[in-house]
């Protein structure tokens, strides 16, 4: 089982972003690293200058680097950026929108979790077009994951295993809206919330987080307790999505559970120390509401035995 570090979804300062990747390159036991701005095209220029050095450091440390495309492509500038990315011959891309297929040509590619692959036929279609790996949409339940992995064995199937779950993308910027700014004049207020801006219900219950035009969950996905079942389902890779916590430690914990050096439940306890005060969830994988945390045995904790 491989570990993939997903792209940083938040607007981190360029230096923080660079240093994060340097550390991951040097210290984390990660097989694949996805880089690039996927959420907001306005943020991309900030990272551009550091990108070559980050890639060099990651590749130098033996990591396979994938270049992620934008999730929602509507402006001419975004189309151009996407097309250019697809035509960089030496870069292996992870597509987050089918827009990419129009300019990708015959090259092999990876598919990110924002492309709607819900079944084996869609996965097979993309495999025939040159897809080599697919990170499935986070809302897919385990039987669907297993059916896809079994039907298209030539694909490396990945699931979203750690991080606040990306739930929606919009043309409207909710960070700007909350600050009473327009999207065009947003002053990049999203940089103030490197782990997302919390959205609570009127009762004060944690519910969602806002990351510019993207909406994520308040809870953090953790499939630690589900790793044995994912292995049986033929999953080839686990995606860890960067949050404001020690991602090297997160990766080590997942690696240890995959290699059966540590019990999954004990690991989840430790995960709570690495990323404290954030509830964990795995409901989607169990066909339940995504925010639920369900014991790997099938029932909720407490219902079991």
In the region spanning residues 78 to 117, those forming contacts with other proteins, defined by CB under 8 A, are 78-79, 82-83, 97-99, 101-103, 114, 116-117
Residue 36 Cβ, how far from other proteins at the closest point, in Å? 18
Q: What is the 3-state secondary structure (H, E, C) of the chain?
A: CEEEECCCCCCCCHHHHHHHHHHHHHHCCCCEEEECCCCCCCCHHHHHCCHHHHHHHHHHCCCEEEEECCCCCCCHHHHHHHHHHHCCCCCEEEECCHHHHHHHCCCCEEECCCCCCCCHHHHHHHHHCCEEEEECCCCCCHHHHHHHHHHCCCCEEEEEEEEEEEEEECCCCHHHHHCCCCCCCCCCHHHHCCCCEEEECCCCCEEEEEECCEEEEEEEEECHHHHHHHHHCCCCEEEECCCCCCHHHHHHHHHHHHCCCCCHHHHHHHHHHHCCCCCEECHHHHCCCCCCCCCCCCCCCCCCC
Q: Which is nearer to other proteins, 196 or 267 (CB)?
A: 196
Q: Which is nearer to other proteins, 81 or 243 (CB)?
A: 81
Stretch that binds other proteins, among 29-37, 134-142, 242-250, 267-275 (CB under 8 A): 134-142
- Nearest approach, Cβ of 201 to other proteins (angstroms)? 4
294 lies in the site for other proteins, by CB under 8 A: no
Identify the residue among 42, 133, 252, 291 touching other proteins (CB under 8 A). 291
Decide: is 148 part of the binding site for other proteins (CB under 8 A).
Answer: yes
Interface with other proteins (CB under 8 A), residue from 112, 138, 242, 264: 138
171 binds other proteins (CB under 8 A): yes
- Name the residue nearer to other proteins (CB basis): 198 or 263: 198
Per-residue binder mask for other proteins (CB under 8 A), 23-62, x = binder = ----------------------------------------
**Beta carbon nearer to other proteins, 97 or 268:** 97
């Amino acid at each position: 089982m491989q570990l993939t570090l997903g792209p940083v979804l938040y607007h981190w300062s360029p230096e923080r972003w660079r240093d994060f990747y340097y550390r991951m390159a040097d210290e984390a036991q990660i097989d694949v690293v996805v880089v690039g701005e996927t959420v907001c095209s306005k943020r991309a220029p900030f990272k551009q200058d550091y990108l070559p050095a980050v890639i060099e450091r990651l590749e130098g440390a033996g990591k396979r680097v994938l270049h992620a495309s934008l999730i929602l492509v509507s402006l001419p500038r975004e189309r151009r950026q996407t097309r250019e990315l697809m035509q960089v011959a030496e870069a292996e891309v992870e597509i987050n929108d089918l827009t990419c297929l129009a300019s990708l040509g015959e090259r092999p590619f990876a598919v990110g979790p924002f492309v709607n692959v819900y079944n084996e036929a869609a996965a097979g279609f993309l495999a025939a077009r040159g897809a080599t790996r697919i990170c499935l949409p986070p809302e897919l339940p385990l039987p669907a994951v297993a059916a896809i992995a079994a039907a298209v064995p030539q694909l490396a199937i990945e699931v979203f295993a750690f991080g606040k779950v990306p739930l929606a993308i919009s043309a409207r910027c909710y960070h700007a809206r909350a600050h009473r700014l327009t999207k065009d004049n947003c002053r990049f207020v999203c940089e103030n919330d490197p782990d997302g801006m919390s959205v609570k219900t009127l009762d004060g219950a944690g519910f969602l987080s806002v990351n510019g035009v993207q909406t994520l969950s308040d809870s953090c996905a953790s499939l630690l307790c589900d790793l044995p079942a994912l292995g049986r389902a033929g999953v080839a890779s686990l995606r860890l999505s960067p949050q404001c916590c020690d991602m090297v430690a997160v990766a080590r914990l997942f690696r240890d559970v995959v290699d059966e050096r540590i019990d999954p439940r004990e690991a989840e306890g430790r995960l709570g120390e690495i990323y404290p005060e954030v509830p964990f969830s795995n409901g989607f994988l169990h066909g339940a509401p995504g925010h639920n945390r369900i014991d790997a045995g099938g029932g909720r904790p407490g219902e079991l035995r």
